[in-house]
Amino acid sequence: FSWQISPIRVPEPDPAKGSEVEIVFKEEDGLTKLVFEHRSFSNHGNGWRKYIEALKSEQGWPYILNRYKRHCETG
């Protein structure tokens, strides 16, 4: 899907200025494994390198994915 949130955390209506997120769900030993890739950050323009670092931080994708995991586990 298209990640259309700018480096300054506001919605970006132009899909050409968004990055791409790919999520694949795989069955592994009776469990569901999530394979995740966020790419094409340069589409965001100025500040895209810092944006990568921000999304790597504990308040970025680790937080988002842990919240998703918790939701899946508890419903």
Tens digit of each residue's pLDDT (9 = 90 or more) over 9-61: 999 999 999 999 999 999 999 999 999 999 999 999 999 999 999 999 999 99
Residue 49: strand, helix, or coil: helix
Residue carrying structure tokens 């030993």: 29
What integer pLDDT is reported at residue 33 of this predicted model? 93
**How far is the C-alpha of 25 from the C-alpha of 75, rounded, in Å?**
18
3-state helix, strand, coil in the chain (%, to 5): 40, 30, 30
Residue carrying structure tokens 């504990």: 58
**How far is the C-alpha of 27 from the C-alpha of 6, rounded, in Å?**
33
CB 55 within 8 A of CB 39: no
pLDDT of 75 over the 90 cut: no
pTM: 0.85
